[in-house]
Every structure is written in structure tokens, then in C-alpha cells.
Amino acid sequence: MVWIAYILVGISVYVLAYQFFKVGQGPGGQKGVVSTAVSQSLILRLSMPILRTYLLPSVQNLPIENFRKEKKRKIQSAGMIEELTPDEFFCFKLFLAISLPLMAIVYNFALNLINPLILIFIFGSLGYFFPELWLTSLIKDRQIKIRNAIPFVIDLLSLCTEAGLDFMGAIQRVVEKANQSPLIDELKTVLQELKLGTTRADALRNMAARINMPEISSIVAVLVTADQMGASISQVLKAQSDQIRSERFIRAEKEGAKAAQKILIPLIFCIVPAVFIVVLGPLIVRLIIQLFSGGFGGGETGEFF
């Protein structure tokens, strides 16, 4: 029972931490070594002054270039490049790996439930690896929003190019008229890079690298090739829109097939036992009563029904 209580406490801590970590789209800021945007995540807002004051100066001198490259790509895919840098993310992992065991030890000292070394190992590991899970969940949520917005945005781009606008003018019009979404934010970044002198092909490739999705990479590759070959952009956009809708329909069918398989587990372990209890429960109770009252013979106590 004690371990069950620990598991339930761990689940509640995870849910609470996830709510603290939950991030929306933060305001813009200048990209640099230290991010200046204020995050909408409560725990980030509370911990950033500590991270930047005490941990960040030491972490910036560490030889962790591979870590920086990998996390920069993930932070870009999560849409947090203006809120968090790779060094700050590493400080964040260290901060949680230290603070969570300390809080657990203080709680354990008051109740004296378990060996403190076990708490250090469990909560230290949780604090160090939880930001990775959190960042991965942000990437998945953002990619889902982008995937849902792709057909609509591609259709608008196609209509604008057919109306006589060039591709960059079409992007500008879509950015002005379309509803806000992560894909629209990425197109805004493309326009900003173009104003700074980046070529159209490089700006689109940078967008594909930031989003890191097969659908966007395919669209960008086709658009860059069509631009270099002088093909009609509107026809290319139409073909891509039809292909994306077909892929979405196939993906929906796959998810439906998976749902039919996943429902078997609660059906077997939850619904079927409940049905058996309702149907056979009274019969089993009557059978037990008959067994303890002298068997199935005749008489007033031997009648089964």
C-alpha cells in the first residue's frame, strides 16, 4: 500500500509539473545568447532569474557543443527559440535535478517514510529527464497544429498566385489574412529573413529545418525545384494540397484502425467483467446460498430458482 501511495504521489507530481510546464506562444524577442522573451510557462518565469544569475555563467563555458546543436534544433521545432536557449535548457535540467530531490527530502524528513537516498535517485532522475519529455510534447503539439493548418494555407497560397501575385507576395497576403497558427509564425519568419537578404530557397529551407516535419520538407523541396526550373507555382501548390489531403485521409483511417485495437484492453478488463458480474452475479450468489443451506435437493431450502 505504501508503494501504491508513492506511485499515486508521483503521478500527481507529474500532472502538476506538466501544468506548470505548459507553454503557449510567447511574445517575440531578439535572438541571442540569452533569451529575453517572457515565457508563458509559470515554472520557467519563476526559475529563469535563478538560472541566469547562478547557473548560466558556469554552463556557458562547458564543452557541450553536441548538446547545444541538438537542443537548439529541438527548441526551434518547439517554437521556443525566443524564450529558451540550449544553455538555459541545460541549466533548467540541472535546476530541477537539484531542487526536486531537496523538496522530496524535506517532505520525507517531516514524515520519515523512506530512505532519502532513494528519493535523491528517483526525483533527481525525474527532474533531469522531465524537461526532455516536456520539450518533446511541445514539439508534437506544435507539429499537429502545423499539420492541420497546411491544407488551408496551401490553398490560400495557390489562390493568391493564381490571382497574379508572386510567391512571396502570396505569403505576405496569407500572413496578413490567415488566422494565427505556428505555420503562419514560420511564414512570418521567412518574410523577415527575406528582408534581411536571405535568398528565397534558403529561407524556405530554414523554415523546413526549424519545423522538422516530412510534409513541410517535401513542400519546400518541390517549391524550390519548381522555382529553379521556372514551373508554375500555383499548379505545384494545388498538387501538394491534394496530396496532403489524401495523406490526412489515410492517416485518419490508420488511427481509426488503431483505436479499434486499443479499445480491446478496456473492453476485456473493464467492460466484460462488469457484464459478467451483472449477469452471473445473482446466479453465483444464489448458488453459494444453496451450497451452504444443504445442497440442491428439494424442500424449501433446496430450491434453486
List the domains of the chain with CATH numbers.
Answer: 2-19+29-144 (no CATH), 146-261 (1.20.81.30)
What count of residues does the chain have? 305
Confidence of residue 301 (pLDDT cuts 50, 70, 90): very low
Q: What distances in angstroms separate CA 58 from CA 41, 53, 63, 145, 181, one per listed residue?
A: 24, 10, 11, 37, 37
By the 10 Å C-beta count (0-12 exposed, 13-18 middle, 19+ buried), 282 is classed as exposed
By the 10 Å C-beta count (0-12 exposed, 13-18 middle, 19+ buried), 162 is classed as middle
The model scores a pTM over 0.75: no
Closest by CA to 39, choosing from 52, 57, 19, 22, is 22
Summarize pLDDT for 240-282 with one digit per residue, the tens.
878 888 888 888 888 888 888 888 888 888 888 888 888 888 8
Distance CA 59, CA 93 (A): 12
Summarize pLDDT for 63-117 with one digit per residue, the tens.
889 999 999 999 988 888 888 889 999 998 998 888 888 888 877 776 676 777 8
Three-state DSSP class for residue 237: helix
